[in-house]
Chain A
Amino acid sequence: MASYSFEAIGTAWQIDTPVELSTDLIAAITATTDDYDLSYSRFRPDSRVRQAAGRPGLLELPASAAELGELYATLYQLTDGRMTPLVATSLEHLGYDEGYSLRPGPGYLPPPAWPDVLDWQGQRVRTKAPVLLDVGAAGKGQLVDLVAGVLAAAGLRQYTIDASGDLLTAGEQSLRVALEHPYNPAQAIGVLELRNGALCASAANRRAWGEGLHHVLDGATGRPVDKVVATWVSADRAMVADGLATALFFTDHQTLGGAFDFSSVRMFSDGRAEVSPNFEGEVFT
């Protein structure tokens, strides 16, 4: 088994394959992640979303933006607007900004409503106000899928991509994965045998910079969520699993289950864990 580790979009990645990746393949992976970063990074002044953030107008995104936009639109609807790609200003208001000032402003700033400011058609996004598009809730998952596409196109049939907890594995081997305890990284609340699919996790308390200040915001109010502390979603595709993992902070499995095929675990701040009946693993209770 060979492992290739690298940094991309601000986090650590590891790709495990039966044989070492070729130089060409690594170059193709790097090009894919670089392009994604240049499109969507809200921390790079030269990214497409940042360049377009200053004024209303047309934002041209890569072709992969079409399915990302559809996913976001669906989740926006299913969560009554609570999951939205328009949280950037709300996050910045709380101090989670480009310079990581981590100094919250007064109160909370609700994000604008999607229909008021955004028209997302395929890879073209028209904005009616200066908005900074934030695809952080599903973007990393999509990039995992895109990297998987690069590997598959090169003929690889067996691989595991780990983008710091967002996992995708292909091939017949199964992967034993611990569901990390949200308050205690030395422990797991469960395990899952993952085979030919993705598992994405989201936790509210890790990227936190103060009491009650973290990066999972309620799109209805601009306030950080406080009921759900961690979620895990397994689905065929990492983009879907990643997006659903965030959506589960705002709604339940049943509400999302009509539109998506997935299994899930979510844990609340009172310690209850809700496990979907189709979850193929064990949650320790």
Chain B
Amino acid sequence: MDVTFADTARRARAVRTSYAAVAGLSLLGALAGCAPEPAPASADNIQSGAPAVQVTPATGAGGAAASNAGEKYKDGTYSADGHYVSPNGTETLGVQVTLSNDVVTDLKLTSHPSNPNTKKFQGEFIGGAPALVVGKDIDSLNVSKVAGSSLSSGGFNDALARIKAVAAK
């Protein structure tokens, strides 16, 4: 598993916009207040083909968000950059997810593509894919099975689990 802890301050400098979290995927990261540890860099992401995402809270995390007893996740907006290997090379996708009362209320994807093909791809992806998850409880997103590539079975649920871990109170 590629777990990369991000130094929040460093990330904030390095990432101009708050990109986000759900995308990604193999993910995870650090919340303010979660005492990030220095992390082993996961330099083997590309070789393994596994996407890596670092998640940082954009707003609302770190105790600032309203939080109701009984909810499993802190309200707030979480962001991360996702990296993936496409046939065009390594690409980066920014993702931002907003949680409110344990429901994903918003999902924004930000592309910073490095070539025309990816730009077009991400453009269409941004237009269509968010409809899948917006407004649904994270825990309700489970399907019985996921059909992806051979290394990816369970990837869908794994990624959601990691996002839940980051957002967990």
Could you list which residues of chain A lie within 8 angstroms of chain B, going by C-beta atoms? 11-12, 102, 140, 160, 162, 164-167, 175-189, 191-192, 194, 199-212, 214, 224-227, 229-230, 232, 269-272, 284-285
Contacts and interface: CB of A to CB of B under 8 A. Distances in A.
Q: Which of A176, A184, A201, A229 gathers most chain B CB within 10 Å?
A: A184
Interface of B: 22-26, 46-49, 51, 82, 84-91, 93, 117-118, 120-125, 128-129, 131-133, 143-156, 158-160, 163
Q: Which of B26, B46, B122, B163 gathers most chain A CB within 10 Å?
A: B46
B144 A175 contact: yes
Given A162-B153, A184-B23, A271-B124, A225 B146 contact: no
A165 B49 contact: no
A206 B49 contact: yes
A167 B143 CA distance: 14
Contacts of B120: 270-271
Nearest to B129: A187
Contacts of B93: 183-184
Contacts of B145: 160, 162, 167, 175-178, 194
The 8 A-B pairs of least Cβ separation, nearest first, read: A180-B148, A185-B155, A203-B149, A271-B121, A186-B159, A271-B124, A206-B149, A164-B153
Contact of B147 (A180, A212, A272): A180
Contact of B163 (A164, A186, A225, A269): A186
Contacts of B23: 184, 186-187
